[in-house]
Every structure is written in C-alpha cells, then in structure tokens.
Amino acid sequence: MAKDEKKKLNFKEYFRGVRTEMKKVVWPTRSEVVSYTAVVIAVCAAFALVFWLIDTGILAALKAVLGVTLN
C-alpha cells in the first residue's frame, strides 16, 4: 500500500470515528444551555466583584501603611 493511500484510509477512518462518536453525544436542551449560561455569567460576576474588593482592600492597606498615592 502506498503512503498516500494509507493516509487517505487513515483520514477516512478518522472522520468515520468522529461521526460515530458524535452520534453518541447527548446534547443539552435549549433551556439547559440558557440555565448554564446564566450560572456561568453569575459566577464570573461574583468572582469579578470578589477580586475587585480584594484589590481595593490591598490598595487601601498600602495607602495606609506606606502612604502611597495614585495620581
């Protein structure tokens, strides 16, 4: 078997396997996707708020201890 023929065969086998596996996937419903998206956005917002509060607290501590100012 020539090298090119072997590559073609492997290429076809790969996509045949991909197709077979994609048939096994259980896709989420529209309501699940909306729900998961809302959870991800809420968690990202919560983490952003927490990091902002930590950053503000550290900056306030540095200002108090070192007398650092931002102009």
Residue 50 lies in a domain: yes
Residues belonging to the chain:
71
User: In the predicted model, is pLDDT for residue 1 greater than 60?
Assistant: no
Domains of the chain: total: 1
Note the pLDDT tens digit of each residue in 26-38: 999 999 999 999 9
> Phi-psi category of 30—alpha, beta or left, where left has phi over 0 and alpha has psi -120 to 50?
alpha
Whole-model pTM over 0.75: no
Say which amino acid occupies 2.
A
Residue 71 resides in a domain? no
Q: Which domain, by its residues, includes 23? A: 3-66
